[in-house]
Structure 1
């Protein structure tokens, strides 16, 4: 197993969703599950923060016309469906189904295209940062993958690689995704 971590940093104005995290520093979005195939992606995410931030989040995140995962200015092709699984004043749990992602510049699609099946994703958005941890069953050079990710980044978006190594560090990081 190979584990790698990286951050995608957004300047204010680079992405409507990430702008919410700039505006509300205590807003946090964590990914519970993310499954990707050649042409589709399913996710379950949990967001928590101030009540007014959650209302603003609903307006941006739950818009079927917009992709929340794109890295470039062109947005993703395909169709999106969102379903709120749990609705609280200061939190949401959201299921996302994104079909026809063949031309999608989203991290899970790019990583799965490069590595193949069996990739496990964990992500978190806070402040200006979209942090990713990836567990891969493949021992391969990741330089081409990071080059591909970097080449898709739009204006005001930057990639920082944090950690490359084996999956044994992951044991210390396991934590519940949803609050108890």
Structure 2
């Protein structure tokens, strides 16, 4: 088996579903378990982000449009059902069941059509990016699949291969996606502190400046940063691996 990471990137206005993700780029959707067959499939997905943005993105899953099509096409006849399994202020877990399907332009379905059975899937959606991670048996025609997929893409959608090689901690990463969820507000605090130079040497931003930018009390920011740094330390020491 070899691991491949395909990244689809969308310009605004090309795909109405992707436009919603672009409008709410602080929301991340991670596929925890993904199963695709020729007739349907199911997946469990974890959504994390600000509460108001999550409400908007969640409507995508309960709408009539297929959320997985690489590009909009009338040939897609997917029918699906969704259920919210867990709901928190800044996170949701959604079960999605494709009950009927004879064609879909999703990368996963097209991979199944071109490469055959025995594939393993993982997905991440954020902003303009829809990333598919695949484990593929070594005897399959990857170049032919890539060329076919690339030829079918309309203008405004780009495809890149971010990884092609032997497995690299796939199962550790899959386990971490189930067990090591960094809450959105802690991730946001960590990202903004990094962007503002809090971790630079010498520092170019103070805790108070970062708290002001986020509209938080300094004590609240300090707590969130400590929790996020503890999570990051576990990753650095090899006890967990990141999921975003």
Answer whether contact 1:5 1:161 (CA < 8 A) is retained: yes
Query: Structure 1 CA distance, aligned partners of 2:152 and 2:8?
Result: 12
Q: Which has the higher helix share?
A: 2
Answer whether contact 1:16 1:60 (CA < 8 A) is retained: no
Superposition deviation, residue 46 in structure 1: 0.7
- Which runs of 5 or more structure 2 residues have no equivalent in the other structure? 183-244
Query: Structure 1 CA distance, aligned partners of 2:44 and 2:170?
Result: 20
Query: Structure 1 CA distance, aligned partners of 2:129 and 2:121?
Result: 16
- Range with greater deviation from structure 2 (75-84 or 13-22): 13-22
Superposition deviation, residue 9 in structure 1: 0.2
Superposition deviation, residue 84 in structure 1: 1.0
Q: Structure 1 stretches (4+) deviating beyond 4 angstroms?
A: 171-175
Superposition deviation, residue 27 in structure 1: 0.8
Q: Which has the higher strand share?
A: 1
Matched, 1:153 2:178: no
Q: Residues 71 and 168 from structure 1, CA distance in 2 versus in 1: closer, same or farther, beyond 3 angstroms?
A: closer
- Which runs of 5 or more structure 1 residues have no equivalent in the other structure? none
Query: Structure 2 CA distance, aligned partners of 1:98 and 1:16?
Result: 20
Superposition deviation, residue 105 in structure 1: 0.7
Could you report, residue by residue, the CA deviation over 1:132-177 in whole angstroms, capped at 9, with x for unpaired residues?
A: 1111134223111112222332342111112211224536745522
Answer whether contact 1:124 1:130 (CA < 8 A) is retained: yes
In the other structure, the counterpart of 2:84 is 84
Tell which has more relative contact order, 1 or 2 (C-alpha 8 A, sep 6+). Answer: 1
In the other structure, the counterpart of 1:67 is 66
In the other structure, the counterpart of 1:93 is 93
Larger Rg: 1 or 2? 2
Matched, 1:129 2:129: yes
What SS is found at the alignment partner of 1:67? coil
TM-score for the superposition, normalised by structure 1: 0.89
Query: Structure 2 CA distance, aligned partners of 1:38 and 1:174?
Result: 24
- Range with greater deviation from structure 2 (2-11 or 14-23): 14-23
In the other structure, the counterpart of 2:225 is none
Superposition deviation, residue 128 in structure 1: 1.2
Superposition deviation, residue 31 in structure 1: 0.4
Q: Residues 119 and 126 from structure 1, CA distance in 2 versus in 1: closer, same or farther, beyond 3 angstroms?
A: same
TM-score for the superposition, normalised by structure 2: 0.67
Query: Structure 2 CA distance, aligned partners of 1:92 and 1:14?
Result: 27
Query: Structure 1 CA distance, aligned partners of 2:157 and 2:99?
Result: 25
The alignment covers a number of residue pairs equal to 179
In the other structure, the counterpart of 2:23 is 23
Answer whether contact 1:17 1:61 (CA < 8 A) is retained: no
